[in-house]
Structure 1
Amino acid sequence: PMMSQLNVDGKVLRATAKAGQNKSGLCIVSAWAGEHRLVLGQEKVASKSNEKTAIPELLARLELANTLVSIDAIACEQSNAELIVERKGHYLLALKKNQGLLYEQVTQRMQQTKSQLPVDEHIDFGSGRIETRRCYVESKLSLYDDLRDWPACQRVILVEATREINGVISQQSRYYLSDLGLSPAAFNSAVRHHWGIENQLHWYLDMVFHEDQQRVRVGNGAENFATVRKLALQLLHRVDDKESMKSRRKLG
């Protein structure tokens, strides 16, 4: 996308869960500027289920003007859309089942009408994997009653991802709301861009720094170490050599 994009998502530090308690462990919600590989902010919550309380607190501290904020979490709520629009930003929010009637209305109608909607197809190949993403965009929103109160909402988006790995095919449909009137190709790119927070941040934190195995949980220790790991990762990304990230870390 032409404007800058900020991806917001939570990651659980699994080893911080206390033994014998039915908790997932500390969750850190991060705001990730993928084009710069930079974490611009983070918020700590007691568990993944509290993500929706942390996200507005995180958004309120960030400069959002002319920025597309993408969130794939339980944070698809009018209040977050309002907060982003008030701060002169734009939103791309994943629509989840917690939106009840709106989710049902969107999923049913998009499946019925997608053959008549503009579509973009993107195919990725790599490591024995073929992934096809078809992005359909609906601009006629008058038939979606529950969208009337959503601030400046212009588009409903459906992304159908088909993944084939070693002959095994899996499919997934995701639905999004946005206040931008972008093309299917631009929305397809923005959704792919969002997953950079998983592939370029969370994956590296686990594979290079073994974050899921870190047991520090006293006081602010877990959050402080999470911050240091992210700073270290940003420095490692700046090294211009052909070494793997694990090798770069050891060489440092």
Structure 2
Amino acid sequence: MFVKNINYYDNHSPCIQKTAPPSINRKKKHKLLDIIILSILAVPCGAESWDSIELFGKTNLSFLKQFPELKHGIPSHDTINRVFSMLNPHHFERLFMKWTDSLKDSGTAEKVTAIDGKTVRDSKDSFRHTSPVHLVHARSVENNICSGQRKTETKSNEITAIPELPDLPDIKGSIITIDATGTQTAVSARIIDRGAGYIPAVKENQKTLREEAGAACNRNRPAADYTEADKGHGRMETRCCEVFETVLGEDEQRKRTRHAAENFAIVRKIALNLLKKGKGNRANAS
């Protein structure tokens, strides 16, 4: 399951070509996709640093050679660090979104997409006076996977990234949920223009909007206006909360060089999506 989905693209894919950092062809020893695959496989098995990714690769070299080419063996931790620091995060994120589409269950409509933000706390660099990386995520509820992310400089600037997330494919007919930060005219307009519904959060300090929302919910209308077409055919479902970010140590990641924190966050999302779609967990992934 892991390799079938990881090999969705090859090294000659246009998206891979755009994602790759600049380099001299005659000096290349490792393919970009090999380094990405190595990192994706290492993360669910406990690798949380460049050194541990290299160690994972060397320990499992015979196993790994059946997937990537690895003609020159396992890249060093310095090489892995440089690659993720120099990767174009925009193109890498687009590659991630396209690959995520291949994971979605066929015939499963996108009914609900949840948008929220998270700060990678230990990406803050006090020595260089840089703020921690803050990421805004879009999560497909039906498929139980992360379908996209955008970086913002600070949590207070989360609103600047939210309007970009409705550009995710296949949101027509779905419902977007978002916290009070996204309760903005520009955000709602973009979502509605894409043919999706919108459930914003309204705080008490938005007095007029809160009163209007309350009045709309309290209208004396027939119950048929509020019924849902699909009740799960009489089934009772129990959903469990999964906090994989803590398991994979996202908040403790101290990757601070250039784009490393943002790009490695995408690697973690890919690993999480694979674990969830493969019905696996960290213990049996290793």
What TM-score, normalized by structure 1, do the two folds share?
A: 0.57
Question: What residue in structure 2 maps to residue 91 of structure 1?
Answer: 198
Task: Return the match for 1:138 from 206, 210, 218.
Answer: 218
Q: Secondary structure at the match of 1:74?
A: helix
Q: Residue by residue, what CA displacement relative to the aligned partner does 1:195-230 show, whole Å, maximum 9, x if unpaired?
A: x9x944xx2112x20100001122111111111111
What are the residue-to-residue correspondences of 1:1-252 with 2, within 5 Å?
4-19=111-126, 25-97=132-204, 99-103=206-210, 105=211, 110=214, 137-139=217-219, 182-183=226-227, 199-200=241-242, 203-206=243-246, 208-240=247-279, 245-249=281-285, 251=286
Q: Is the 8 A contact 1:45 1:54 kept in 2?
A: yes
Question: What's the CA shift for 1:20?
Answer: 7.3
Distance 1:62 1:3, change over 3 A: closer
* Distance in 2 of aligned mates of 1:66 and 1:32: 16
Distance 1:74 1:232, change over 3 A: same
Give the counterpart letter for 1:226 in structure 2: A
* Distance in 2 of aligned mates of 1:98 and 1:83: 24
Q: Higher helix fraction: Structure 1 or Structure 2?
A: 2
Q: Is the 8 A contact 1:7 1:34 kept in 2?
A: yes
* Distance in 2 of aligned mates of 1:86 and 1:55: 15
Give the counterpart letter for 2:256 in structure 1: R
Provide the aligned C-alpha RMSD in A.
Answer: 3.3
Tell me, which stretches of 5 or more residues in structure 2 are unaligned? 1-108, 230-238
Q: Higher strand fraction: Structure 1 or Structure 2?
A: 1
Q: Is the 8 A contact 1:69 1:92 kept in 2?
A: yes
Q: Is the 8 A contact 2:145 2:276 kept in 1?
A: no
Q: Secondary structure at the match of 1:36?
A: coil
Question: What's the CA shift for 1:3?
Answer: 6.2
Tell me, which stretches of 5 or more residues in structure 1 are unaligned? 118-136, 142-180, 187-195
Distance 1:218 1:18, change over 3 A: same
Distance 1:139 1:25, change over 3 A: farther
* Distance in 1 of aligned mates of 2:115 and 2:135: 11
Distance 1:220 1:211, change over 3 A: same
* Distance in 1 of aligned mates of 2:219 and 2:284: 47
Distance 1:58 1:20, change over 3 A: same
Question: What residue in structure 2 maps to residue 169 of structure 1?
Answer: none
* Distance in 2 of aligned mates of 1:5 and 1:210: 27
Q: Is the 8 A contact 2:135 2:151 kept in 1?
A: yes
Give the counterpart letter for 2:275 in structure 1: L
Q: Which has the higher contact order (CA 8 A, sep 6+)?
A: 2
Question: What's the CA shift for 1:46?
Answer: 1.1
* Distance in 2 of aligned mates of 1:25 and 1:101: 35
